[in-house]
């Protein structure tokens, strides 16, 4: 029996990216003669002429974000997708700041490498856009950002078939959504989900289904997507609220923390547990190895939660211009605060800018009492510690980056071992 034209059309009408449908389309593609796979074939042109770019979704939100292709970037065109995606977001939230993505990419390379998340966060910060790199994204998070008027760069696996995506990672900028899926600016072009092949070099306002991003963005669960979260924009922001753990869910409980610190639960205040969990979510410290290393390192530095600020007077930091201590009294005022001992006027100022909280500049007591974990998480994030931990970094390697040497290694190993008992 031969399929009618209407029967054949129904294959596309009812396509919803189920595994058997993806498999069927893959088989059809393999069976097509080469001439029917050409972008210049009349059926491809006819189909694309009718496929209008979304203008105003019937439901949802669409932001008018200018498109930048990475293919024409002044350097490293094949690996600057992260930068081009962030440049599109920057261009939208602060129009006129850059003329194109090359302007932004020059800033990126003046700081570090384009593939590093901390470099992108710092580069955006140089333009007055406060962001964080998140590794626990889910669809609702992106929709909330879009609804708030913030485009969202996300990292996807862009290679391989739909049922087994792969690749070292690719970044796109989500600019809207509707009832069918996401509207994105893809700096490399338009990706075919079924095959993992780019079918066009034009990635301006392409439609990627929810199924596609579920498979290629949130790969292992529905809440492990990587994305850049815009928190505020200089000149537009209101005082940010303290970040909240999603739905009140705790990554680490009071009893867990008491076990790690080897102390009674009665010695730990509820607000300390709340600030700790807020910190973990804020800085994407949400995976097992990152949490274990973060809590073991902070446990050592704080003597098991006993010390939220440096015991020494801070006089040794007086006049230390490398720490930004340029005013009389800066040494004691900006001595080590929090569970990783943030030190110096310059670091306090950077943290104040990040949090949008001018009171940070009141000095060590305020930070120690208000942000003991968050100030540590800020350093952790800026030094790309999650990547080190999740790529198999050892206690010794993590200690080297935190301490600059191996001071207290045995104690850090002790706390790490305790972390393994409760952080699974």
Q: Averaged in consecutive runs of 10 residues, what is the pLDDT profile of the chain (424 residues)?
A: 66 63 81 84 68 50 93 96 97 92 96 92 91 89 89 95 88 93 96 91 93 90 89 64 56 95 92 92 90 96 93 94 93 95 92 88 94 94 86 91 91 96 92
Element of type H or E holding 154: strand 152-156
- Which residues are within 8 A (CB) of 45 and not within 5 positions of it... i.e. 6 or more apart? none
Q: For position 246, what pLDDT does the model report?
A: 55
Spatial contact of 398 and 405, defined as CB atoms under 8 Å apart: no
Q: For position 4, what pLDDT does the model report?
A: 67
| Cα distance between residue 115 and residue 393, in whole Å | 19
- Write the pLDDT tens digit of every residue in 230-270: 988 887 644 334 444 555 578 999 999 999 999 999 999 99
Q: For position 12, what pLDDT does the model report?
A: 65
Q: What are phi and psi of 86, to 5 degrees?
A: -70, -35
Structure tokens at 309: 């600020």
Q: For position 197, what pLDDT does the model report?
A: 92
| Cα distance between residue 151 and residue 143, in whole Å | 10
| Cα distance between residue 386 and residue 293, in whole Å | 9
| Cα distance between residue 331 and residue 88, in whole Å | 41
Complete domains list, the chain, with CATH: 61-233 (3.90.70.10), 246-422 (1.10.530.10)
Query: Left, alpha or beta for 248 (phi > 0: left; psi -120 to 50: alpha)?
Result: left
pTM: 0.50
Structure tokens at 259: 């076990």
Q: For position 237, what pLDDT does the model report?
A: 47
- Which residues are within 8 A (CB) of 322 and not within 5 positions of it... i.e. 6 or more apart? 344
51 C-beta neighbours (distance < 10 Å), count: 10
| Cα distance between residue 82 and residue 90, in whole Å | 12
| Cα distance between residue 10 and residue 2, in whole Å | 14
| Cα distance between residue 388 and residue 323, in whole Å | 25
12 C-beta neighbours (distance < 10 Å), count: 10
- Over the Cα atoms of the chain, what is R_g? 24
Q: What are phi and psi of 228, to 5 degrees?
A: -100, 120
Question: Which among 298, 374, 301, 362 has a CA at the least distance from the CA of 332?
Answer: 362
């Amino acid at each position: 029996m031969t399929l009618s034209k209407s029967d054949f059309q129904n294959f596309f009408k009812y396509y919803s990216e189920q595994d058997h449908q993806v498999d069927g389309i893959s088989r059809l593609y393999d069976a097509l003669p080469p001439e029917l796979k050409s972008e210049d074939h009349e059926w491809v042109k006819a189909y694309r002429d009718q496929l209008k770019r979304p203008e105003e979704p019937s439901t949802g939100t669409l932001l008018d974000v200018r498109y930048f292709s990475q293919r024409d970037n002044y350097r490293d065109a094949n690996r600057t997708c992260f930068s081009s995606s962030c440049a599109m977001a920057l261009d939208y939230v602060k129009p006129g700041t850059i003329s194109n993505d090359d302007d932004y990419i020059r800033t990126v390379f003046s700081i570090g490498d384009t593939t590093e998340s901390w470099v992108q966060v710092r580069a955006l910060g140089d333009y007055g856009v406060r962001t964080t790199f998140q590794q626990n994204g889910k669809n609702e998070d992106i929709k909330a950002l879009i609804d708030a008027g913030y485009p969202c760069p996300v990292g996807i696996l862009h290679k391989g078939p739909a049922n087994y995506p792969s690749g070292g990672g690719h970044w796109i900028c989500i600019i809207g959504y509707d009832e069918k899926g996401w509207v994105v600016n893809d700096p490399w072009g338009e990706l075919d989900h079924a095959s993992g092949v780019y079918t066009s070099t034009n990635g301006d306002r392409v439609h990627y289904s929810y199924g596609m991003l579920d498979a290629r963005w949130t790969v292992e669960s529905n809440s492990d997507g990587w994305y850049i979260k815009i928190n505020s924009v200089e000149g537009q922001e209101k005082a940010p609220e303290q970040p909240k753990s999603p739905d009140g869910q705790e990554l680490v409980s009071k009893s867990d923390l008491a076990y790690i610190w080897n102390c009674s639960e009665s010695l730990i205040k509820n607000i300390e547990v709340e600030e700790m969990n807020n910190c973990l979510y804020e800085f994407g410290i949400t995976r097992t190895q990152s949490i274990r290393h973060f809590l073991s390192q902070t446990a050592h530095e704080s003597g098991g939660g006993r010390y939220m600020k440096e015991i020494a007077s801070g006089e040794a930091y007086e006049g230390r211009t490398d720490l930004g201590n340029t005013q009389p009294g800066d040494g004691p005022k900006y001595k080590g605060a929090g569970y990783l001992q943030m030190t110096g006027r310059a670091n306090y100022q950077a943290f104040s800018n990040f949090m949008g909280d001018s009171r940070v500049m009141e000095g060590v007591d305020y930070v120690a009492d208000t942000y003991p974990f968050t100030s540590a998480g800020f350093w952790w994030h800026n030094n790309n510690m999650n990547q080190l931990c999740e790529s198999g970094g050892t206690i010794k390697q993590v200690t080297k980056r935190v301490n600059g040497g191996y001071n207290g290694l045995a104690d850090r190993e002790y706390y790490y071992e305790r972390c393994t008992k409760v952080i699974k």
